[in-house]
Structure 1
Amino acid sequence: MTDRERLRTTFGGDATRYRRARPTYPAELFTRLTGPRILEIGPGTGQATLPLTALGEVTAVELSPELAAVARVHAPAAHVVVADFDTWPLPPEPFDLVVSATAFHWLDPATRMARCAAAVRPGGALAVISTHHVAGGTEPFFAAVQELYERWDPSTPPGWRQSPAVAIPCEFDESDLFGEPEFHRYEWEQAYTAQTYADLLMTYSNHVVLPDRDRLIADIAALIDSRFGGRIVKRYMTQLALARTRM
């Protein structure tokens, strides 16, 4: 089993926490998307699913039964299917739009573009949404927390810092099945208490599988409370990559 295959199964361990802790997406992003027939790959607990249902009829394919159950509650208009998109039988009628929000990287890189192209009509669109933690927010905290990661996670690069948003590359899988993608970026910030930030970290697969995760997260929470008044701000950059199938 590859790291990708192993890590992508970790998210259903606490679906309630995932729904509570994971951020949503900038509302203006969805104004660039159109239906009416929409396929969402990897909806998680429905952070993008609900706004997508305002654009049309949504079929959402989720690997985790636990996450899918929560998504059905929060986006009741969507048809949520529990399946692995890599092997899910595509319906005979193609979709107008295929969307994957912070989940595309979990798909099989050898087949994901071909399967997305097969799922969407000629001239339809593939929207890949990615979320990046970038420089900004409470920068002294993110500098100080580096020491804790180096202590409890041996794989942490020494002296690592978040990159500014402009340094994040515009990435999209090369494929002859799609035209040139257009990129749209949105920067925003989210405030966290020690507890809500600990909750967020426990939704990250690389933290969930870390042997010393409990010590790491306890130390991070203590750092927020002791040196930063119990509150920090994290800066995000959400990127939308949008490409249409060739006619």
Structure 2
Amino acid sequence: MADKHLRATFDEDADLYDRARPGYPTALFDALGSLAKIGPGARVVEIGPGTGQATQPLAARGSHVVAVELGAHLARVLQRKVAGMPVDVVVSTFEDWPPPIEPFDTFAAFTAWHWLDPAVRAAKAAAILRPGGALATVTTFHVLGGSEAFFSKVQECYERWDPATPPDVRLLSDDDIPPALDEVDRSELFEPAIRRRYRQNITYTTATYLNTLATYSGHRALDPARRQGLFECVARLIDDEYGGEITKAYLYELRVAHTTTRP
């Protein structure tokens, strides 16, 4: 399973997480709504919702969402944001969460599936879905595009300040990113998955980009002095060579796998 300490770092500053983390493209939700039949009356469980980057769009389609979030601070922000919407917020890890008896129509995890225990996640997801229900995961990739020269040059900052940075890190094009395959794609519990990909470019000022970096688990886990040195190096690069603004390209892979029909 992914490092428990790392996956808990998101809860350290929930308000910053809420301000800095981007949402997902509208087209992705349109496709998910069609593939998983998300709409009025549908029951959706979302694992790892953070502060609602996907929860609100899901609920806005009329679905009843049970949002299971392990971070108590993140959950409080989420609860405030979804007040009046058909959303129940539960504070728990996915692994320890006791699901209700009534099955769900859709299991959703947006940039959170990789934090769940691979030994239990697929089987537990299938068990809480109705026959023919949908497992929907979204994987986020950082890809070529936007201020490409910046993302090449900024590796010098990482190589200096983050000892875990491998040499010659480079971003890949969309076509060079392989599908995010795992045990779901090999499981007899699910039909073959349908995949869709979506791009999104986001422009950041120096301050908003540093805020976004400060929500990443690997950055938060750095020694404070190293993190400060890294952020100062990144800020100087953006301010001195890019006029205080850069654009980052994101690629989102939506995977929808329906459970096999059970008697």
- Contact 1:45 1:68 (8 Å CA) reproduced: yes
**1:54: how far off?**
2.1
**3-state DSSP class of the match of 2:8?**
coil
The reply on whether 1:116 has 2:99 as its aligned counterpart is no
Q: Give, in angstroms, the shift of residue 30 of structure 1.
A: 1.2
Q: In structure 2, what is the equivalent of residue 186 of structure 1?
A: 198
Residue by residue over 1:152-177, the C-alpha shift from the partner in whole angstroms, topping out at 9 and shown as x without a partner, is 11221112111111111112323111
| 2:206 aligned with 1:199 | no
SS at match of 1:98: strand
Map of 2:220 onto structure 1? 208
Aligned positions of 1:112-191 closer than 5 A? 112-173=121-182, 174-191=186-203
Q: Is the 8 A contact 2:2 2:114 kept in 1?
A: no
> 2:58 is matched by which residue type in structure 1?
L
Q: Classify the secondary structure of the residue corresponding to 2:187.
A: coil
Q: Offset of 1:123 from its aligned partner?
A: 0.3
For the residue of structure 2 that corresponds to 1:8, the secondary structure is helix
| Residues 130-153 of structure 1, C-alpha deviations (whole Å, 9 max, x = no match) | 111101110111111010100011
- Determine helix, strand or coil for the equivalent of 1:10: helix
1:89 is aligned to 2:110 = no
Asked if structure 1 preserves the Cα contact closer than 8 Å seen for 2:2 and 2:116, the reply is no
Label 1:8 to 1:67 Cα distance change in 2 as closer, same or farther (>3 A): same
**Which letter does structure 1 place at the counterpart of 2:73?**
E
Uncovered stretches (5+) of structure 1, i.e. residues with no partner: none
Distance in 2 (alpha carbons) for counterparts of 1:176 and 1:119 = 16
Counting only pairs closer than 5 Å after superposition, residues 11-50 of structure 1 correspond to structure 2 as: 11-32=10-31, 33=33, 34-35=37-38, 36-50=42-56
Letter in 1 for 2:28: L
Q: How does 1:57-68 map to 2 (within 5 A)?
A: 57-68=64-75
1:221 lines up with 2:227 in the alignment? no
How many correspondences in the alignment?
Answer: 246
Runs of 5+ consecutive residues of structure 2 not aligned to the other structure: none
The worse-fitting range, judged by mean Cα deviation, of 75-84 and 198-207 is: 75-84
The amino acid that maps onto 1:8 is R
In the aligned structure 1, how far is the partner of 2:95 from the partner of 2:177? 27
Equivalent pair of 1:172/1:181 in contact (CA under 8 Å): no
TM-score with structure 2 setting the length: 0.91
Could you tell me how far apart the structure 2 residues matched to 1:146 and 1:191 are? Answer: 19
Q: Which TM-score applies when normalising by structure 1?
A: 0.97
What's the Cα RMSD here?
1.1
- Displacement over 3 Å in runs of 4+: none
CA distance in 2, matches of 1:194, 1:21: 12
* Aligned CA distance change for structure 1 residues 47 and 145 (closer, same or farther; 3 Å): same
Give aligned-pair identity as a percent: 49
User: How far has the Cα of 1:3 moved from its partner?
Assistant: 5.4
- Match of residue 5 from structure 1: 4
2:2–2:117 CA contact under 8 A, matched in 1: no
Deviation string, structure 1 residues 57-80 (Cα, Å, up to 9, x no partner): 000000000001111122222111
Question: 1:203 deviation in Å?
Answer: 0.5
Which residue of the partner structure matches residue 52 of structure 1? 58
